[in-house]
Structure 1
Amino acid sequence: MKLSDLLAGYDHQVLQGDPELADVRAGITYDSRRTTSGSMYIAMRGTRSDGHRYVRDAVERGAVAVLVEHPIAEELAPRVCVVQVANTRAAVPTVASRYFGEPAKEMNVVAVTGTNGKTSISYMVEAVLRIGAKARVGVIGTDGYRVGHELILVNRTTPTTPESVDLHHILRCMRDRGTGTVIMEASSIALTRHRVECADIDVGIFSNLTPDHLDSHGSMEQYKQAKLRLFSGMCRRAVANADDPVSADIAALMPGAVTTFGIDAAADFRATDLTVEAAGTRFVLHHDGRQRLAQVPIPGRFAVHNALATVAACHVLGHDLDAVVDALAVLPPIPGRFETIQTPAGVSVVVDYAHSADSLEKVLSTIGGFAPGRIITVFGCGGDRDRTKRALMGEIAAERSDLVIVTNDNPRGEDPETIADQIIAGVAKTGTEHERILDRRAAIQRALSVAKAGDVVLIAGKGAETYQIIGGETVHFNDMETVQKLAAGSLAS
């Protein structure tokens, strides 16, 4: 595809070569190491490096076109077309969407943002449409990229929402596999870095806003503004949580285009009469003057909020409400999201991704509502991430547990002992019994060994992740897999 077609209508300046003659035929990349003959290299600024430093490497590997934010001091081969734009990250969505044939325009695209619930809502929407409407649905998010059970293998460089080049590549793959609807997670970082632009989003879902990622955004106001970008011209319609005050901001941005859901506040889709049990939650769904009995096989108010968001979004997309509600009742387990098993000793184990103060409190409050015995919580906090939440999470865990075992999450480049110290500072305020066992497998084993029939062990923070990042090393580790092996006695003590 000619570079001139990729940039048509986009403000740019040609520094070298002719966009009419530059034929981008081998893909687009922002990693010079993946540049091949005939490809286009985009120099993007990252948090740790600047892609402009690798322009020469990309050209030597065969790039025929380069997109930059400023002229390159080095002399480049005359065959290469170099184009300057004000912000390469902002330009990528236009270029990538066009290169891959604007695949989003041929599918219904739903984007979910909010502090908690993005992955759960994505799983719910996919399952409800697959079960209730026999639809072929694509999922893009924290747990990977797939259409149904078919994985889409794309190099992963971001934890939640892929870079724009990768996103449009994934969307093209999904379109080519006959996908009718795509549900994707839109993180605050992705929204501020232009990753989901030009994705032709039909419905944007807002789940909630609670303190998290303040190391990246600086304040709750800036964090909120990052989330609101999704509803500032990026989606056609919105589904918003009326129990969260941010829904009023969304309504102001999109008057007449917002469908609300909630439990406490008046909403288009409202749940009342909640009955929470270990096996799930029953409630009465109110919509458009009608009442329906509904249930979701996950316990807790947070599960009902996620279910309401799912029902509202599917209804906005035009799906039959009764079929959606019926499908909600038979949802399969969501990996790493209140995923529960019972050991042969009669101990219930819950594995959950809760990694913020709010999500941890919600999960523990739910467990407290049905646990017949003690609650034992095993968790840690990620390194090189928001330090301000660690003591608070320790305090919350201790207030709602009988025993807290502080362990490693993904310490990354931080000292694990320091992270544990900061968590325990919060635990110590309560006087709750606690232990420090940094080896996560040993911590889980300790929890299972002291738990008795009727107790509930919560293992929080990593959910369905299959790895731990310790220092510069990434090693295989999965909480549920570890629990299953330990409970079966197949791992040595």
Structure 2
Amino acid sequence: MKLLDLLEQTDYECIQGTMDTEVTAVVYDSRKVMEGSLFICIEGANFDGHCFAAEVVEKGAKVLVVSKAVENLSAQDITVIKVADTRYAMAFISAAWFGHPAEKLKVVGITGTKGKTTTTWLVKDILEEAGFKVGLIGTIETIIGDTHIPAESTTPESYVLQEDFAKMVEAGVEIVVMEVSSQGLKLHRTQGFTFDYGIFTNLEPDHIAPNEHASFEEYMACKGLLFRQCRTGIVNADDTHTEKLLEGYTCELETFGLGEKSMLRAEHLELVHTPGELGVRFHVTGLMDFAVEVPAPGRFSVYNALCAIAICRHFKVELPEIQRALKTAKVKGRIEKVPVSDKFTLLIDYAHNAMALESLLTTLREYQPGRLVCVFGCGGNRSKLRRFEMGEVSGRLADLTVITSDNPRFEEPQDIIEDIKTGIGRTAGRYVEICDRKEAIAWAISSAEEGDLIVLAGKGHEDYQEIKGKKYPMDERQIIRELLDGGLTHI
């Protein structure tokens, strides 16, 4: 492909060489350079592609895209293109390289602190129920036709994203539903195309740390960028941050929520609690008018379902198709029910920080279980404050906490447990500690009492445990099956 064609939507300056160059590959990883490549010098948290300039030229790169001076290239037969931001430029170059595939798709991007994963899956289920061919990109995996690719990040690098779009077009996908992280927006991964629909679920302080966001204000501002990159915005009118987040928006706007000002509203919420099942039913009013039941508990499940309905309305999905899809929808690791007994309920959820755990346990309390039992651990080589906070939340809200291991990484699991116990010690909460997670799950099931609600928190969709730099298989669903097949007794 001609270099000029790749740069058609990019502001640049050619500071060395010729623009009449044929490019054989677009690369941002120096290990993948081949003869005739265009290499984009990306500055990361732990590396700088500019430092590999001489190396990639030796390997055959013919074009470098840079944002600052690179030494020892003046005598080389190489074209150097300077841009203001190489990550930003990469998004547009990648889109051109793959033939602007997003223009052949309807793209739905969902951002927010919570609810992104669940809502993307709900939308996918509803649209597929209506006969659409749908692709998905998110925290759990990327789905292209029958191909499932485990996710490395919530929102892939722009090159990978455009490559996925191109594969979806080839596979006959009509609509792609994707999670859009604040990091993805901050690092320009979603530039180079326009979302047909941009969605905002909610906002709470999160991802404020070195190499993430310097402040809550920055985190919110990055989320808000989506509404300058989409044609239609669909936002939660009930969130207190919505107005601020939308500053500078350029799209048309629609709202959903529980309040009277929302264009699409949920009314008459009713908890559904049958043997082994937790759910909620409500009535949709405003832009649509019908009843819905969702087999997932709590108010946040209402918001997720309502958000999905607001999106699918634009694709003219029939009401019975929406109702059927929502009634049977399940999302791996998001308040996922695992059938074990009609006498008690067992759930798996990804809640892995204090904010998410408090929301989860508060919601489950509303169903008035005989006992609320929380099985969880915390990740190693992460903030100790998270451990104290999660311990305190579980001690305060659960009737019994089973402290166990999560991903200890390079820490000793017992050291992490001691930190969690410090948090629980601030409460009057009862707890037991069982370091081995499989043993902890077995104990929770075998010790269950009638009416119990047991939640295994923290791992969610993850099917591994990370110990000393290695990932070992650990899928809680598989563990439960093996325990039951092995004769584990429960009430």
TM-score normalised to structure 2 length: 0.91
Contact 1:16 1:78 (C-alpha < 8 Å) held by counterparts? no
1:455 aligned partner = 452
**Structure 2 counterpart of 1:479, one-letter code:** E
Residues 1:176 and 2:174 are matched in the alignment: no
Residues 1:266 and 2:257 are matched in the alignment: no
- Once residues 86 and 387 of structure 1 are traced to their aligned partners in structure 2, the CA distance between those partners, rounded to angstroms, is 38
**Structure 1 counterpart of 2:280, one-letter code:** T
2:11 aligned partner = 11
Residues 1:248 and 2:243 are matched in the alignment: yes
Which of 251, 257, 261 is the equivalent residue of 2:252? 257
Which of 204, 209, 217 is the equivalent residue of 2:203? 209
**Structure 2 counterpart of 1:280, one-letter code:** G
Give the 5 Å matches for 1:65-104.
65-75=63-73, 78-104=76-102
Give the 5 Å matches for 1:340-419.
340-343=337-340, 346-370=343-367, 372-385=369-382, 387-413=384-410, 416-419=413-416
Residues 1:286 and 2:282 are matched in the alignment: no
Contact 2:127 2:317 (C-alpha < 8 Å) held by counterparts? no
Shift of 1:187: 0.7
| Cα gap change, 1:43 to 1:407, in 2 (>3 Å) | farther
2:298 aligned partner = 300
| Cα gap change, 1:477 to 1:40, in 2 (>3 Å) | farther
Secondary structure (helix, strand or coil) at the match of 2:127 reads helix
- Once residues 490 and 193 of structure 1 are traced to their aligned partners in structure 2, the CA distance between those partners, rounded to angstroms, is 50
Give the 5 Å matches for 1:225-240.
225-231=221-227, 233-240=228-235
Which of 422, 425, 449 is the equivalent residue of 1:425? 422
**Structure 2 counterpart of 1:98, one-letter code:** A
| Cα gap change, 1:483 to 1:40, in 2 (>3 Å) | farther
Which of 188, 192, 195 is the equivalent residue of 2:186? 192
1:489 aligned partner = 486
Shift of 1:63: 2.5
Residues 1:339 and 2:336 are matched in the alignment: yes
- Once residues 66 and 265 of structure 1 are traced to their aligned partners in structure 2, the CA distance between those partners, rounded to angstroms, is 55
Secondary structure (helix, strand or coil) at the match of 1:370 reads coil
Contact 2:199 2:233 (C-alpha < 8 Å) held by counterparts? yes
1:48 aligned partner = 46
Contact 1:213 1:385 (C-alpha < 8 Å) held by counterparts? no
| Cα gap change, 1:388 to 1:74, in 2 (>3 Å) | farther
Secondary structure (helix, strand or coil) at the match of 1:47 reads coil
Contact 1:296 1:328 (C-alpha < 8 Å) held by counterparts? no
- Once residues 166 and 104 of structure 2 are traced to their aligned partners in structure 1, the CA distance between those partners, rounded to angstroms, is 10
Which of 466, 473, 478 is the equivalent residue of 1:476? 473
Segment drifting more, 100-109 vs 252-261: 252-261
Residues 1:147 and 2:144 are matched in the alignment: yes
Segment drifting more, 3-12 vs 249-258: 249-258
Contact 2:233 2:251 (C-alpha < 8 Å) held by counterparts? no
Secondary structure (helix, strand or coil) at the match of 1:330 reads helix
| Cα gap change, 1:9 to 1:298, in 2 (>3 Å) | closer
Which of 110, 113, 117 is the equivalent residue of 2:111? 113
Contact 1:383 1:419 (C-alpha < 8 Å) held by counterparts? yes
Unpaired runs of 5+ residues, structure 1, are none
| Cα gap change, 1:482 to 1:281, in 2 (>3 Å) | same
Shift of 1:294: 1.2
TM-score normalised to structure 1 length: 0.90
2:29 aligned partner = 31
